Amino acid sequence: MIMKKIIVAFVAIVITLSSYGQFHVGPQIGYTASNLSLNTDSITNGLKSNFVAGVFFRFGEKIYVQPEINWLTQGSVFKYPSIGSISPIEQNIKLNTIQVPLNIGWRIINLKVVNIRIFAGVLANFVTKTTITTSGGDPNYYDALPTEDDFGKTQWQWDIGAGVDVLMFAIDVKYMGGINNILNDFTIDGTTISSKSNLFMVTLGWKIL
């Protein structure tokens, strides 16, 4: 229900803004490095690299608004300390996500062929599928670990970044930090843990309009 309302609001924003000033739209692809940060040092977490594909809409000239819709996979690798076993337990966590960012940007250098931009905003992440692969250690302890149902379906993030436009191409580099928890207060071995999703992204867009 929340996702439906945000998508409807997104479409309304695009339709409204399309009647004002300069307008660009186009596809984009890119690279992501994601990490699910934890509130404990007893569990280590590693980065996961993946790809992103989406569509961006840009409205305005010197000051602009840019909503997007992106499809990507976020996640991390949790490595738990050895519990009654020589080898540690690892969980490979994948979150298939529909991401809806809304950024406000400023063209700090605006030339005919090249311009340089900075931007910031907020985004909503809708997790469509959670996959966890557990390996290593003693399988008898697997039931004590987080499962797919322990991860939330909606997460909010803030982002900040910079971009360069060259002719019809747009290159953006951005960092996204979690606002709310994607894993809420899960207790394991007497320790309550929570997790937020953080993401580094580089995209190449093509302004077809």
Q: What is the mean pLDDT of residues 89-109?
A: 95
Per-chain mean pLDDT for the chain: 89
Residue-level pLDDT at 185: 75
Give the whole-angstrom CA distance, residue 148 versus residue 183: 10
Q: Provide the percentage of residues in the chain whose pLDDT is more than 70.
A: 88
Q: Which helix (H) or strand (E) holds 15?
A: helix 2-17
Cα distances from 36 to residues 20, 74, 119, in angstroms, run 39, 8, 24
The CATH number of 2-206 is 2.40.160.20
Task: Measure the CA–CA gap between 70 and 32, rounded to whole angstroms.
Answer: 12
Every domain of the chain and the residues it spans: 2-206
Rg of the chain taking only CA atoms, in angstroms: 20
How far, in Å, CA of 166 to CA of 145, rounded?
48
Q: pLDDT band at 190, cuts 50/70/90?
A: confident
Q: How far apart are alpha carbons 122 and 205 in whole angstroms?
A: 20
pTM: 0.86
Closest CA relative to residue 106, chosen from 123, 121, 95: 121
Task: With cut-offs at 50, 70 and 90, classify the pLDDT of residue 141.
Answer: confident
Q: Output the pLDDT for position 139.
A: 84
Q: 44-72 pLDDT, tens per residue?
A: 888 999 999 999 999 998 999 999 999 99
Taking residues 122-143, what's their average pLDDT?
Answer: 91
Here the tokens at position 8 are 């409807």
Question: Residue 13 pLDDT > 70, yes or no?
Answer: no
* Mean pLDDT computed over 111-131: 95
Contacts of 136 (CB under 8 A, 6+ apart): 85, 87, 88, 89, 90
Residue 61, pLDDT score? 86
7 has a pLDDT exceeding 90: no
